[in-house]
Amino acid sequence: MKGRMLFVIGSPRSGTTLLMRMLNVHPEILSRPEPHLLTPLASLGYYKYVDKASYDPFQAHQAVRTFVDDLPGGEQTYLNALRAYTDTLYGEMLATTDKTVFLDKTPAYALELPFLAKLYPDAIFVVLTRHPFAIFSSFAKSFFDDDWPAAHQFNPVVERYVPAIAQFLRDKPAEHMVHVRYEDLVANPDEHLRRICATADLEYLPEMVDYGQVKVDGAGLGDPIGVDKASRPNTASVHKWARAVAHNTPRTALLHKMVASIADEDLATWGYDRESLWAPLADVDEATALSAQNKARKWDRYSVERRTLLFLRRNIHNNFIGRGLKRLRFVLDVLLRE
């Protein structure tokens, strides 16, 4: 591949889109919203396999392991083949510009970090962590219309991402990695962008802080609204989660349940400690909390789409809508079968 790789690693709702937007201002860096090129490669069978597919995943897992083990170069040959695929795609995209670094920011990569480190051992990894409660609060608000139990049942992001990223932070050589806390990034973006540029051997440019001046090429996944509310980082959202939790017994109990399963070592590596996690709640009085938690719902296009989807999916496998869709799918499968 002609060029270098830079990965921004972080959980959903941890600020990775903000960081990607700032780095995208650099004239040497090209980024596109969440390509998801590498997540499928991690589950082709050699390392992991999916539970459901149009083929037997277990048989594929056994077969590919046997095949690769018999190759003269073994696992390294397999990684070289996968890298040839991704290098072609990343490289061809870079070739459309005069830039030298491709930045891939896909939060799902955080659950495949051992594979990613094997595939691109010389890449630069910028790891962004954020207060775990802020992550979940934003996740529930953004994707589940503030339905915390539904959000946690669908994806326990704290329990999944904190241990995975913490282990990576402990394992990855420091010369290839920069760890930044979201709270520190928005409070002092210049300092941390300098650190990232130094690790990536790039010139630091002060204009990177004003990310609103440069749009990201292409369409894709990512924060469709929040990051465009401002043109440069600010601290307004750092303790926003506390207003959504304070004096709310069910939400507080759910957060206690989440963090109880996280090891102290992982929290410390992530950049926090168990006791200080709760400190921001003491600064929120009951009236402020009630006002925030009862705030009028947004009715922009994105919010309406998410709310409609949540309504339709609720109990979908047991209600008349789900039963009707299953019958329709069966009919369509029969009609479209080749």
Q: Are 138 and 241 in contact (CB under 8 A)?
A: yes
Shared domain check, 244 and 181: yes
Shared domain check, 140 and 253: yes
3-state secondary structure of 47: coil
Work out the number of other CB atoms within 10 angstroms of the CB of residue 318.
9
Q: Are 245 and 133 in contact (CB under 8 A)?
A: yes
pTM across the whole model: 0.85
CATH of residue 162 = 3.40.50.300
The one-digit pLDDT tens for each residue of the chain (338 residues) are 778 999 999 999 999 999 999 999 999 999 988 888 888 888 888 888 887 666 677 777 888 889 899 899 999 999 999 999 999 999 999 999 999 999 999 999 999 999 999 999 999 999 999 999 999 999 999 888 889 998 999 899 999 999 999 999 998 777 889 999 999 999 999 999 999 999 999 999 999 999 988 888 766 656 655 666 778 899 999 999 999 999 999 999 999 999 999 999 999 999 999 989 999 999 999 888 888 888 766 666 666 776 777 777 777 888 888 888 888 888 888 888 76
Shared domain check, 327 and 196: no
Q: Are 200 and 45 in contact (CB under 8 A)?
A: no
Shared domain check, 78 and 138: yes
Shared domain check, 235 and 290: yes
Q: Are 261 and 161 in contact (CB under 8 A)?
A: no
Shared domain check, 227 and 326: no
> For the chain, what is the domain count?
2
Shared domain check, 329 and 205: no
Shared domain check, 51 and 27: yes
How far, in Å, CA of 143 to CA of 232, rounded?
Answer: 24
How far, in Å, CA of 180 to CA of 130, rounded?
Answer: 9
Shared domain check, 222 and 75: yes
Q: What ranges in the chain are assigned the alpha helix state H?
A: 16-24, 38-41, 57-69, 75-95, 113-119, 132-143, 148-154, 157-171, 182-187, 189-199, 240-245, 249-260, 264-270, 286-293, 301-313, 320-336
How far, in Å, CA of 278 to CA of 251, rounded?
Answer: 13
* 4-9 vs 29-33, strand pairing mode: unpaired
Shared domain check, 233 and 122: yes
Shared domain check, 170 and 69: yes
Per-residue pLDDT at 222: 61
Domain, as residue range, for 290: 4-295
Shared domain check, 180 and 318: no
How far, in Å, CA of 226 to CA of 334, rounded?
Answer: 43
